[in-house]
Amino acid sequence: MTDIYRAIADPTRRKILTLLSQNKYTQSELVDRFTISQPAIKKHLAILEEEDLVSERREGRYRIYSLKRDNFTHHYEKLQQEMEFILDNKLAKLKTYLEGENDGEGH
């Protein structure tokens, strides 16, 4: 099962996901877009592959990476639902708290 939180926890991985949402890239093309080393990019790509959000295809001596759109979309939508639930719950508690304070002030 994909751990979307692990995948998006790091800003470099978020940027890689953003780039791959727009196009396919070789590993060296991705490395050129960052100021970190090739092994560091490879580590981030490995995590994204482990979380089943990115696929790697060998083409000759190149590795081409692409976003697994269906998986990403599914897990992103789940994340949004979880965040909506958390925020709705927090807002409901805040509303209850504020209404309770207003009731107390009017007496």
- pLDDT tens track for 32-58: 999 999 999 999 999 999 999 999 999
Report the pLDDT averaged over residues 68-75: 90
What's the pLDDT at 107? 45
60: left (phi over 0), alpha (psi -120 to 50) or beta: left
Overall residue count recorded for the chain in this entry: 107
What CATH number does residue 90 fall under? 1.10.10.10
Strand order in the sheet with 25-26: 25-26, 62-67, 54-59
DSSP class of 33: T
What's the pLDDT at 70? 93
What's the pLDDT at 104? 61
User: Crossing angle, helix 11-22 and helix 38-50, to 10 degrees?
Assistant: 80
Looking up tokens 């060998």, which residue turns up?
58
**Count of domains forming the chain:** 1
CA 69, CA 50: separation in Å to the nearest integer?
Answer: 15
DSSP class of 101: H
Cβ atoms of 34 and 72 within 8 Å: the answer is: no
* Host domain of residue 50: 4-105
- pLDDT tens track for 55-69: 999 999 999 999 999
